[in-house]
């Protein structure tokens, strides 16, 4: 067991130190686990969650087709035509980004909505930094609301065998979606207060983006409908959701290729898929399979149980707030991938149902990323967009929005989960 712990610790340290090479570090560590037999051959395939990998690949490709169709830009234009001033426009853009992000990748959401905010700020001659920060943190918040909103949500759904509808109604109770929206409601009030001095009127423009193709929108909506429908099918294959996403992407690619008669269009969509994240998860699944086989997961679960003294509320509190703290500085994907089996073992050792601990982990790990500019991929993307535009984002600029936004989002969710699921 000691060698597995050392290798696991070294892997995480290296991933934190060399973020550009983390996928290679994870895959290299996974290879060592396999070669050393800490992960036996017969445990390799069972350790890989192919459903998660297929869902991520499929949804990312569909999102790119959706972006290319100009539909998100049209939706943003429609929203902006209804708002009276800069303050409301900032809140409206953040809300719009949040709604989109509940169903598609957070990074893709930022890439879709940020250009609209930049254009507005250029016309009004105001600083776009707070706008982009608000869009980024709102996108990251809503990613936890549905099964397809974020990689961490996909991971939890697959691991706990949760369906799309389970994120709305689970075990006879209102589920994660409503906890996130409760936090989002308070967070919107915080945003409105932060932008309280931005009262300049917005000039109305009748020019609207023209949607080039409605098929990608139909495919994305169909994906959501099919995921909901599949949740009612008993004893379905474990990779059902992943196959739905990938098959719809295949349909979209074939359609696009026939319509454009250019193979380059298809390759551009495939390039939009974040294969680095997929490779990282692939390696992490194998690493976690290795430490689980060596008994590390059970040992950590027993240690947490001892630290919590068997007090479920104390353990729940530790999981939520430690997740918030850690996710402010490290990628929440490897953290969640590691903690899911730990929580399962912890719940088993205490003889309790793990749901509240799962939900606390997802909320803390997802929302905690909004504390810092490097805590979430959506934030990193937003800051990158601003850098390209020549704007420097100081930490204090981000903290001014990110920290109150995070607290406003996580505290209601923290209380909600305990009241409903304890």
* pLDDT per residue rounded down to tens, the chain (422 residues): 888 888 988 987 887 788 678 789 989 999 999 999 999 988 889 888 888 788 878 887 887 888 888 887 787 777 777 878 888 888 888 888 888 888 776 777 787 788 778 877 877 778 889 989 999 899 888 888 888 777 788 889 888 888 888 999 999 999 999 999 998 888 888 888 988 887 777 776 677 788 888 999 899 889 878 877 876 777 778 788 889 989 999 999 999 888 888 888 788 888 878 788 788 878 888 988 888 888 887 777 777 777 777 788 998 998 999 888 877 766 677 778 888 888 888 888 888 889 999 999 999 988 888 887 867 778 877 887 788 778 877 888 888 888 998 898 899 999 999 999 97
Among left, alpha and beta (phi > 0; psi -120 to 50; other), residue 125 is left
Q: What are phi and psi of 202, to 5 degrees?
A: -105, 130
Structural domain for 403, as ranges: 2-421
Interatomic CA distance for residues 67 and 181, integer angstroms = 25
* 3-class secondary structure per residue, the chain: CHHHHHHHHHHHHHHHHCHHHHHHHHHHHHHHHHHCCCCCHHHHHHHCCHHHHHHHHHHHHHHHHHHHCCHHHHHHHHHHCCCCEHHHHHHHHHHHHHHHHCCCCHHHHHHHHHHHHHHHHHHHCCCCHHHHHHHHHHHHHHCCCCCCCCHHHHHHHHHCCCCCHHHCEECCEECHHHHHHHHHHHHHHHHHHHCCCCCCECCCCCCCCCCCCCHHHHHHHHHHHHHHHHCCCCCCCCCHHHHHHHHHHHHHHHHHHHHHCCHHHHHHHHHHCCHHHHHHHHHHHHHHHHHHHCCHHHHHHHHHHHHCCCCHHHHHHHHHHHHHHHHCCCCHHHHHHHHHHHHHHHHHHHCCCCHHHHHHHHHHHHHHHHHCCCCCHHHHHHHHHHHHCCCCCCHHHHHHHHHHHHHHHHHHHHHHHHHHHC
Interatomic CA distance for residues 103 and 12, integer angstroms = 30
What per-residue confidence (pLDDT) applies to 331?
Answer: 63
For residues 385-404, one letter each, b for 16 or more C-beta atoms within 10 angstroms of the residue's C-beta and e for the rest, the string is bbeeeebebeeebbeebbeb
Interatomic CA distance for residues 96 and 113, integer angstroms = 8
Count of structural domains within the chain? 1
Interatomic CA distance for residues 345 and 327, integer angstroms = 22
Interatomic CA distance for residues 19 and 403, integer angstroms = 24
Interatomic CA distance for residues 192 and 114, integer angstroms = 18
What per-residue confidence (pLDDT) applies to 121?
Answer: 80
pTM (2 d.p.): 0.74
Interatomic CA distance for residues 244 and 55, integer angstroms = 8
What per-residue confidence (pLDDT) applies to 416?
Answer: 94
What per-residue confidence (pLDDT) applies to 330?
Answer: 65
């Amino acid at each position: 067991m000691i060698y597995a712990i050392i290798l696991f610790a070294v892997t995480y340290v290296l991933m934190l130190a060399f973020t550009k090479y983390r996928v290679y570090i994870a895959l290299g560590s996974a290879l060592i686990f396999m070669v050393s037999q800490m992960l036996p051959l017969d445990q390799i395939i069972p350790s890989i969650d192919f459903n998660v990998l297929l869902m991520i690949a499929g949804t990312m490709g569909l999102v790119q087709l959706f972006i290319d169709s100009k539909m998100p830009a049209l939706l943003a234009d429609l929203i902006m035509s209804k708002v009276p001033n800069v303050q409301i426009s900032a809140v409206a853009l953040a809300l719009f980004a949040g709604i989109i992000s509940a169903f598609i990748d957070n990074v893709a959401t930022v890439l879709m909505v940020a250009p609209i905010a930049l254009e507005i700020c250029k016309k009004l001659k105001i600083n776009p930094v707070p706008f982009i920060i608000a869009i980024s943190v709102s996108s990251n918040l809503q990613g936890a609301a549905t099964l397809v909103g974020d990689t961490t949500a996909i991971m939890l759904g697959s691991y706990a065998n949760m369906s799309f509808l389970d994120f709305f109604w689970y075990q006879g109770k209102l589920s994660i979606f409503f906890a996130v929206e409760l936090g989002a409601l308070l967070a919107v009030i915080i945003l409105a207060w932060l932008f309280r001095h931005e009262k300049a009127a917005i000039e109305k423009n009748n020019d609207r983006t023209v949607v080039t193709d409605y098929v990608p929108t139909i495919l994305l909506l169909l994906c959501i409908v099919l995921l909901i429908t599949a949740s009612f099918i008993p004893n379905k294959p474990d990779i059902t959701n992943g196959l739905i996403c990938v098959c719809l992407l295949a349909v979209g690619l074939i359609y696009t290729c026939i319509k454009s008669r250019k193979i380059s269009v298809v390759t551009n969509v495939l390039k939009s898929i974040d294969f680095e994240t997929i490779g990282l998860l692939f390696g992490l699944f194998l690493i976690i399979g290795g430490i689980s086989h060596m008994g590390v997961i059970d040992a950590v679960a027993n240690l947490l149980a001892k630290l919590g003294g068997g007090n479920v509320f104390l353990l729940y509190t530790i999981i939520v707030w430690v997740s918030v703290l850690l996710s402010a500085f490290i990628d929440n994907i490897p953290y969640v991938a590691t903690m899911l089996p730990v929580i399962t073992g912890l719940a088993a050792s205490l003889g309790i149902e793990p749901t509240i601990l799962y939900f606390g982990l997802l909320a803390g790990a997802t929302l905690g990323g909004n504390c810092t500019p490097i805590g979430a991929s959506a934030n990193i993307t937003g800051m990158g967009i601003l850098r390209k535009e020549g704007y420097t984002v100081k930490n204090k600029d981000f903290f001014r929005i990110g920290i109150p936004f995070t607290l406003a989002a996580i505290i209601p969710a923290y209380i909600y989960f305990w009241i409903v699921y304890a």
